[in-house]
Amino acid sequence: MTVEQGIFAGMPTPLYPASPSRLLAWLDCPRRYRMQYLDRPKPEARPQRAHTSVGIVTHNVLRDFWDLPRSQRTPSGVAELVRASWIDVGFRDPEQSASWREKVSASVVDYLRHIDQDQQPLGLERSVALRTDSIAVTGRVDRLDDRHGAVVVVDYKTGRQIPSEDDARTSLPLALYAAGAARVFRRPCVRVELHHVPTRTVAAHEHTTESLDRKVAEAESIAGDLRRVDAEFAARGVESPSFPPRPSPLCTWCDFRAHCPEGQQMGPEKSAWAGLEAAEACGLRSTADSTEEQP
């Protein structure tokens, strides 16, 4: 009997464990994938940027809002959630941080005014899993809605780019979440939605069984590549040729830029608050409504 990389000959190949973010990291840049998921010790990433702080707070408030009693589901109640969960990291100065705390309160209040608060979500930041013959994918969904007996996947977006229906249609994570949610809840789940909180834009797509199957096959194909390069890295380490950089304008935002000479050549690094300056074009309000009406 022979043993190769911990697997006995004749035994089934273990499922490849992955998350949608891991799969996409490989597609974006093999070098970043290696540094983020394989290198040990892991290279030090740059400090968190301000737009990431804004995104985390927005997601946390939209999760915690549903735990509030009805009497506290007001603009002031939302503002208190924002204040309590605020992450003061990456901002240019205290004034910018305070200004964006107000903007987040205002945008979340406006978003919540336009949803049905009588319809409690089926899940909030709910983990779903999907297993096939070759992969085991797990991910966390921002929100799962129950609409007429079917499950709908909702993913919040907070950046300056307003998502399109094509973004919802082509999104690999959304499709995997839908396939996983259908199996977890044993209900149909084919509709996926991207909710851009600052503008209340909803980009949606209705999958078919066939289109979801194609997305799952895409994930299996990527995972097959990762199984190969992970094994090569285990054997050769950083000498492996399978992790070339993929230089692009995104390199100016990369968390591992300091460890990648090719990425550094793509231009000066963006400031920690550059994403907020770009997001001003999204039309975020500067102050929250002070009335005590429901959001």
Q: What angle do CA 84, 86, 89 make, to 5 degrees?
A: 150
pLDDT tens, residue order, the chain (295 aa): 333 455 556 667 899 999 999 999 999 999 999 999 999 999 999 999 999 999 999 999 999 999 999 999 999 999 999 999 999 999 999 999 999 999 999 999 999 999 998 899 999 999 999 999 999 999 999 999 999 999 999 999 999 999 999 999 999 999 999 999 999 999 999 999 999 999 999 999 999 999 999 999 999 999 999 999 999 999 999 999 999 999 999 999 999 999 999 999 999 999 999 999 887 654 554 333 333 455 7
Out of 3.90.320.10, 3.40.50.150, 3.40.30.10, 3.40.50.850, which CATH number does the structure's domain 123-216 have? 3.90.320.10
Q: In a 3-state reduction of DSSP, which class is residue 165?
A: helix
Distance CA(5)–CA(270), nearest Å, equals 41
CA-based nearest residue to 65, from 18, 20, 104, 22: 104
Query: What is the radius of gyration, based on Cα positions, of the chain?
Result: 21
pTM above 0.75, yes or no: yes
Four-residue CA torsion sign, 234, 238, 241, 245 = positive
CA distances from 125 to 45, 60, 128, 224, 248 (A): 25, 9, 9, 28, 31
Say if CB 109 and CB 200 are below 8 A apart: no
Which residues have C-beta within 8 Å of that of residue 262, sequence separation ≥ 6?
31, 245, 247, 251
Say if CB 149 and CB 187 are below 8 A apart: yes
- Per-domain boundaries in the chain: 123-216
Q: What is the 3-state secondary structure (H, E, C) of 9-47?
A: CCCCCCCEEECHHHHHHHHHCHHHHHHHHHCCCCCCCCC
Q: In a 3-state reduction of DSSP, which class is residue 161?
A: coil
